[in-house]
Structure 1
Amino acid sequence: MDYKELVSHGDLHYSHNVKRSEGGLPIGNGVMGSLLWTSPSAVKFQVNRVDVYANDRSTNSFNQRHMDYGYACGFVDIDFVDYGEDVFQDGTIRQHLSLYDALATIQGNGVRLEAFAYDHSDVFAIKVADERDKPQGINIKLKMLRPAEVQTKSHLAVSTLSMRNGMMLLKQEFTEGDYYCSSVVAVGISDRDGVIRMNDEAGGREPVCDFRASRVLGQPNETEMRLCVSPASGGFEILVASAATFDRNEDITAAAVKQLEAARAAGYEQMLQEHRSWWNEFWTKSYIRLSSEDGSAELVEKHYTYYVYLMASNSRRGNYAPNFGGMLLSPRGDLRHWGAMQWWSNLRLYYNAILATGHYELMQPYFSMYSGMYDSCARAAEQQWGSKGIYIPETVWFNGVDELPEDIAAEMRELYLLQKPWEERSEKFKRYAHKKHPHESRWNWKGHEQWIDGELVYTDKSWGPFGSTSHMFGNIAGIAYHYWNYYEFTRDVEWLRDRAYPMIKGAAEFLRNYPSMRKEDDGKYHMYNTISGEKYIGGKDTIQVMSSLYGIMPVLLKAADLLGVDADMIPVWEEFYRNLAPIPKSDHPEAVFKTGENEPAIWVGAIGKVLDERRDFATEPMRYFHLCSLETAYDQPDWFETGAATLAFQETQLGGDWGRAATEMSSVASMLAGMGHAEGFKQAVLAQLECINADREYCYYQDTGRIKFYDNRLTVREGVNAISAQRLGNVASGLQYAVCQSQPGGPGKESVINVFPACPKDWDAEFSLWCQGGFRVTSAIRQGVIDSIRIVSTLGGTCRFRNPWGDTGISVVQEEREAITLQGSMLAFETSPGTVYTITRTQ
């Protein structure tokens, strides 16, 4: 495979200045990232980090939507023009992002710049060449994101500019009570003389007004510092380092300076060589190549490759996942729609397709973030709900959930479990809640807000304690299931024991012990008063939570058995699992949506009355937990039939056009591919890439200029400054399912490899992807014909796969050994670690 040729299909090429900064070229090393964009005279970027947050779970200062902030550290402009002609003009400018090398190049009139985010430390390395007949001085500007000092209630943000050892430094400090976070950006040059200037009274050489005892009043005026580079022909390097900490006692400035000095000592060319080497090796792990006469396959392929690049640039090495709306790429400061919290229903879309790429390292920030909040979530399960295990809110701060005063917790339990009328909540509870952020799930019942006579006034959402995400619990099991999937791909028993099992058990125990879980006269356990995907408010047996239970319980039982733990609990869990109420279907007398008497039953959202009056079918079992896919037809055919009937019903509702269901966040492409619907998958995935439903589903569409997607294939579906690649994650997951599946017939069951189960008939495809069990599978289909399958067993064990040639006999060759012959639809053979197997049909 010529990886460079293949990966370059996804490159970005511009011959114009982007009209909006959101369309810039993305670079990042997983901890630190930015878009690069141009003005007529400058190259601009914003330094963002995954570990910079203005506030955390303890805040009482951000009780208004969209006002909490984080991630950004500073602006950097490289200004090429003083008095003279613009250097970046439409038609003559050339901008290129090489995915294979993770290198951005911008060529203007007489100037050239290339940049990358160094893989081995948090440094942007930039090489500039001035080839103009009359070179000019180049000014590198380091700019604050806001005034030097900003007080927001109890929260204080202080930014300070300084200089050291020929470097410009910008330090941010955020404080509120015991909370502290600080970041530093350091900017320096090599191979060219320069002078640092700041236009305050001391020229930036010493602090101004440092004698003040109070903040804000009399704060420094200057918010910008310049490194003025001497005019000369030829090249020089710019290095931009960053660092961040939550420790007040750490000298974070020294950490940033040290990184820059190390980069300067190594030199640009050595860093570039190391950087290229890492990325070039990265691309050999897996791939998908597509082609078709109509060009649709190539369109999907380049977006898939681009998605893999984005994830490696935004989720690697750090302890926190990038924000779902913005990632490390926000270009307009640190305020954005939906703030700085994580919303799991959005965040999961970035990670669903990672494991099949084989780049398991890209999952680690996601796992580190959620594992890091375990203790706070265990306390929240007890305090807020009177349950066991862990309660991870759908919308949560980066470090989890704040501990409540005991009297507030006691009243919250009564209110949220409907044991106390909402109208009788105490004034103390109201005052406490008023200070809390309305996006946080536990306070999400807050509705419309407005300022009246200087006071922020809320209404609730008319459902009492229910908000859009307040009683959403499917995410808890969804997060835990990602941990389980990681084990299924890696078979790392130590990781299962130490990292995955606590999350799996915690999720299952929270749901099992939720006080509104009841065993009724029918002998079944029913769940009351939950929410499914921001709808079916207060419903019984809502589709999302029941799917979660059917997903997480068998996985818990299998994990406990594998690890030989919790023997006393296994009978309890087995009894609970055996007697779960069924996932709601339209043939239930109290279903929120009912099909006709002679029509097949389909999945629906809930049983009984729901507060939001929502009445509709549902597809969750085909989108989560491996509950319903092609393999389910063999293990649980009645579920498969219900899934097929639900798809048929939805297709009729859509008039046969699956593109109408393909919104940015929709998993419809994965669902269709998982069920083997090739043409429906194609319709959905192309519509999703073209954003054909943007006008009806984008948040704040008017505020973002009614732009469907930018030059760089990213959207602002979530709103202002909330750069999004969610649809690319959905497309990637759907495409992987279309060419290679390794789902089990149900949660916790043995996985089965199935190649090209939903590849459109007019597409030729070739792939090398990773499957559960540590198998790397490579195959190709051309004009509908599969020649062979190559399987590398990295871990050994039994390889199970569906015969892609029907019941035709197949031959399995282990390297140079004699072939074995197998026959039938379901085939299996034992493998040895590190061994290659080639499978072909015998006739």
Structure 2
Amino acid sequence: MIKSENPGAKWFLRLAAAFVFQTVALGVDASPEELDRFTVHWQSPSKNDSGTMPIGNGDLAANVWVEPSGDLLFYLSKSDAWSGNGRLLKLGKVRLKLEPGLIAKDAVFSQKLDLATGTIRIQTRGVNIAFWIDAHRPLVHVEVDSEKEHHAAVTFEPWRTKQRVLKGKETHSAYGLLKGPPVTVEPDKVLPSKNHSIRWFHRNQKSCYDVTLKNQHLGHLIEKYPDPLMGRTFGGMIHARGMVQRDDRTLATKNPVKQLHLQIHALTAQTETEQEWLDQLTKRKSEHDAKPLAEARQAHQAWWKQFWNRSWIYISETGAEEKQPNPSSDAYRVTQAYVLQRWINACAGRGKFPIKFNGSLFTVTGKDGGTWDPDYRRWGGCYWWQNTRLPYWSMLSSGDFDMMQPLWQQYTRVLPLLKDRVKAYYKHDGAYFSETMYFWGTFNNANFGWGNPDVHTENKYVRRYWQSGIELTMMMLDYYDHTRDDAFVKQAIIPVGEAVTTFYDEHYKRGEDGKILFDPAQSLETWQKSKNPTPVIVGLKVVIGRLLALDHGLTSVDQRKRWESILNALPEIPTKKQGGKEWILPGETYSHKQNTENTELYAIFPYRYYGLHQKDLDVAKETWRRRQIKRTGGWSQDAIKAGLLGLSKEAKGYIVSNAKRKHSGSRFPAFWGPNFDWIPDQDHGTVTMTAIQRMLLQTDEEEIYLIPAWPEGWNASFKLHAPDNTTVEACVKDGKVTHLKVQPESRKQDVIIKSAQ
């Protein structure tokens, strides 16, 4: 049964919703035809790499384009290709040339992203090209099938051909080393011809790791935590049956052919020698070759089918003809933005490291105070939690739990070092996750300060911005609510949650009232001097409450006693009352405003202490009305918060604005940015995703609320994930929910229809 709305307020909100695509009138699995309505189809070549189309298998990715010359080009990227300077580099660039070429006067040209099968398809002049990256292996396939015979040549075109020093604004690509020693880019190595293949790699023979730990007073930990950069080697091997070596960088057909199957095997490994890496690559090629192509293709397409069927959304204008979506309508553009951003997430989200917010794996030649090579990305290779987190908040609702694993792995992997850092810096237990960090856990040196004698950063924006670990624990708890993976609690939630709460408990003294006095502290990056900042208090209040609510078989008596003690010692959330109204403040005191975050709204998102289904909705809305920064785009989260407050008109306005704000210099419609970061901006698209999810579905304890912030004038069909391994499929038509399907069926009794306010 479907309940009527329960007016009782709860103390926290769970995550909601996700999407795949189908017609408004139907509640069936997403079909290739429906996906095809929102794909990208180009009918002309691209002038340069600004016209690239992204594709990937979660770890290995490519930017693909066809130039007016008729050559097919692509950049290759890998999620673990870290240079000795801590930059995430491309693997390289490849060119495929056919004679006769792909482009001719009056010839029909088509380059299409086949979302359903995870393939880019190019058709022209009787030539069909299928470009795909195996969903299960680091292997690129380029299949050419032609009506007529062609000569073909494939060339590896590296741009890192000699040692050079980054200068001027380009140095921002190695942000962590700014104001330090010169940043030297080392060349790639192309190996001599052998067995009609092209082989190349980039190998780190220098590393910024040791100097980083020594600069940050952690040199004593170098032996305990080995250098993750030195000896890291990444590259690949290109080969194709019927092609022979022209030179070390080029393969060519001996005779014209109608079919060609180009394969590129990629590998990253940290090895003692070059030969050890090469032996691993050769072994990998043999393993790949042992699997028949048809079998590999079938498994690849099966992965993408199950991916799209996990969740979906299709939005249309009320009264619009359902079978003929209007590409210029707001509903269409929002839907396409969601589909394509989720595609980009999947293309880069299953590697060994989290998605890079500033370009993901899809950076191209950049213009940022100069024209820089495709390795450039503003803010460099470090992770900013404020930015890194946003793609992952959207993955819970879409059921993309596999893509969340790299995030969990990175932050749990660095925890031992961070605990040792706290002992070295402050002589007590616990750990904090800094806002900016290298993937091994330390600050970057530009923020910490070169030769800084203190343990606090010279950079005032992140000096005491330590609440990242609280939000990480919050997200982990949401993941557990969805999956009920008890092993994850013990392996990730408890170690991280204990370390973070212990840090705050032991780092700060108690005030005269017996409460913890968070001072000196800061309220995110914005209020750089704050006593009892709201994000810390509300975050700990919610997270500790949820830790205590875990099944007692997963926690110990001592842990629960400690958490209860901390919870009881937390100060009240800072608020102000005037004229019969009450609103939340950024902190008990706050000054030195330097950034543009509404830190008081962390009580709504991500911590969900206040909101549509929680306590004091009037307080939350008054806080929303009084927020100083009102905007959308990039990492700005007003769209999400509007959805959580049931403000349908505001939420709709924000997501429509976001969907229309692609990067003007990029051809692909979901390459956003640069906004605050770089191109394609991963925060911009994923904030949009999360906002739509919250507009369609929110949860609180056992209850599932549908359409809590869904606007008038839009219909929708969706499949969304909710806690307790639950999925909800439904349609919204003219403001009414139909075709409701809930799995497991026992959860249907928890569904509440709550229309927007």
What is the TM-score when the length of structure 2 is the normalising length? 0.82
Give the Å deviation of 1:110.
5.2
2:467 to 474, 478, 481: 474
Partner of 1:120: 136
Equivalent position amino acid for 1:279 in 2 = W
Give the Å deviation of 1:560.
7.3
1:389 to 406, 415, 430: 430
Give the Å deviation of 1:722.
4.0
Distance 1:335 1:663 in 2: 22
Distance 2:735 2:715 in 1: 7
Give the Å deviation of 1:260.
3.3
Partner of 2:358: 325
- 1:621 to 2:603 alignment: yes
- 1:671 to 2:700 alignment: no
Distance 1:89 1:367 in 2: 52
Distance 1:105 1:246 in 2: 35
Q: 1:535 to 1:282 in 2, by over 3 A?
A: same
Partner of 1:493: 486
Give the Å deviation of 1:281.
2.3
Q: Does the 8 Å contact 1:10/1:99 carry over to 2?
A: no
Equivalent position amino acid for 2:572 in 1 = P
Partner of 1:238: 262
Partner of 1:44: 73
- 1:309 to 2:291 alignment: no
Q: 1:385 to 1:718 in 2, by over 3 A?
A: farther
1:25 to 27, 30, 53: 53
Paired residue secondary structure (1:607): strand
1:157 to 175, 186, 189: 186
Partner of 1:252: 277
- 1:139 to 2:130 alignment: no
Paired residue secondary structure (2:635): coil
For the pair shown, the structure with the greater C-alpha radius of gyration is: 1
Q: Does the 8 Å contact 1:445/1:467 carry over to 2?
A: no
Partner of 2:83: 54
Equivalent position amino acid for 1:51 in 2 = D
Q: Does the 8 Å contact 2:48/2:67 carry over to 1?
A: no
Give the Å deviation of 1:34.
1.4
Q: Larger RCO: Structure 1 or Structure 2 (Cα < 8 Å, ≥ 6 residues apart)?
A: 2
- 1:801 to 2:750 alignment: yes
Distance 2:451 2:641 in 1: 31
Give the Å deviation of 1:466.
4.8
Distance 2:653 2:107 in 1: 35
Partner of 1:764: 715
Give the Å deviation of 1:243.
0.4
Equivalent position amino acid for 2:478 in 1 = N
Distance 1:735 1:90 in 2: 42
For each residue in 1:448-481, what CA deviation from the matched residue of structure 2 results, as whole angstroms up to 9, or x when unmatched?
Answer: xxxxxxxxxxxx9xx9845212211121111122
Q: 1:115 to 1:643 in 2, by over 3 A?
A: same
In structure 2, list runs of 5 or more residues that go unmatched: 1-27, 166-180, 208-226, 321-328, 366-373
Give the Å deviation of 1:373.
1.0
Give the Å deviation of 1:106.
1.9
Give the Å deviation of 1:350.
0.9
For each residue in 1:691-714, what CA deviation from the matched residue of structure 2 results, as whole angstroms up to 9, or x when unmatched?
Answer: 2xx9xxxxxxxxxxx737642411
RMSD of the alignment, in Å? 3.0
- 1:10 to 2:38 alignment: yes
Q: Does the 8 Å contact 1:168/1:187 carry over to 2?
A: yes
- 1:644 to 2:621 alignment: yes
Partner of 2:175: none
Q: 1:22 to 1:7 in 2, by over 3 A?
A: same
Give the Å deviation of 1:89.
7.6
Partner of 1:697: none
Give the Å deviation of 1:247.
3.0
Partner of 1:437: 445
Give the Å deviation of 1:719.
7.6
- 1:98 to 2:114 alignment: yes
Equivalent position amino acid for 2:355 in 1 = P
Equivalent position amino acid for 1:347 in 2 = T
Partner of 2:236: 185
Paired residue secondary structure (1:791): strand
- 1:364 to 2:405 alignment: yes
Give the Å deviation of 1:568.
2.7
Paired residue secondary structure (1:175): coil
Q: 1:613 to 1:724 in 2, by over 3 A?
A: closer
- 1:297 to 2:331 alignment: yes
- 1:605 to 2:586 alignment: yes
- 1:339 to 2:380 alignment: yes
Q: Does the 8 Å contact 1:184/1:252 carry over to 2?
A: no
Distance 1:550 1:709 in 2: 43
- 1:661 to 2:677 alignment: no
Q: 1:243 to 1:531 in 2, by over 3 A?
A: same
Partner of 2:311: 286
Give the Å deviation of 1:643.
0.6
Partner of 1:549: 540
Give the Å deviation of 1:125.
0.4
Equivalent position amino acid for 1:126 in 2 = V
In structure 1, list runs of 5 or more residues that go unmatched: 56-61, 63-67, 199-224, 403-435, 447-459, 588-596, 655-659, 695-705, 745-749, 807-843
Distance 2:146 2:751 in 1: 59
Give the Å deviation of 1:109.
4.3
Percent of aligned positions with the same letter in both sequences?
Answer: 18
For each residue in 1:648-684, what CA deviation from the matched residue of structure 2 results, as whole angstroms up to 9, or x when unmatched?
Answer: 334xx78xxxxx6112212222111111111111011
2:571 to 561, 581, 584: 581
Give the Å deviation of 1:614.
7.6
For each residue in 1:203-232, what CA deviation from the matched residue of structure 2 results, as whole angstroms up to 9, or x when unmatched?
Answer: xxxxxxxxxxxxxxxxxxxxxx11123452
- 1:687 to 2:738 alignment: no
Partner of 2:729: 778
2:93 to 56, 71, 75: 75
Distance 1:71 1:800 in 2: 51
Q: Does the 8 Å contact 1:314/1:322 carry over to 2?
A: yes
1:571 to 511, 536, 561: 561
Query: How many residue pairs get matched?
Result: 668
Equivalent position amino acid for 2:347 in 1 = S
Give the Å deviation of 1:139.
2.2
Which of 290-299 and 712-721 deviates more? 712-721
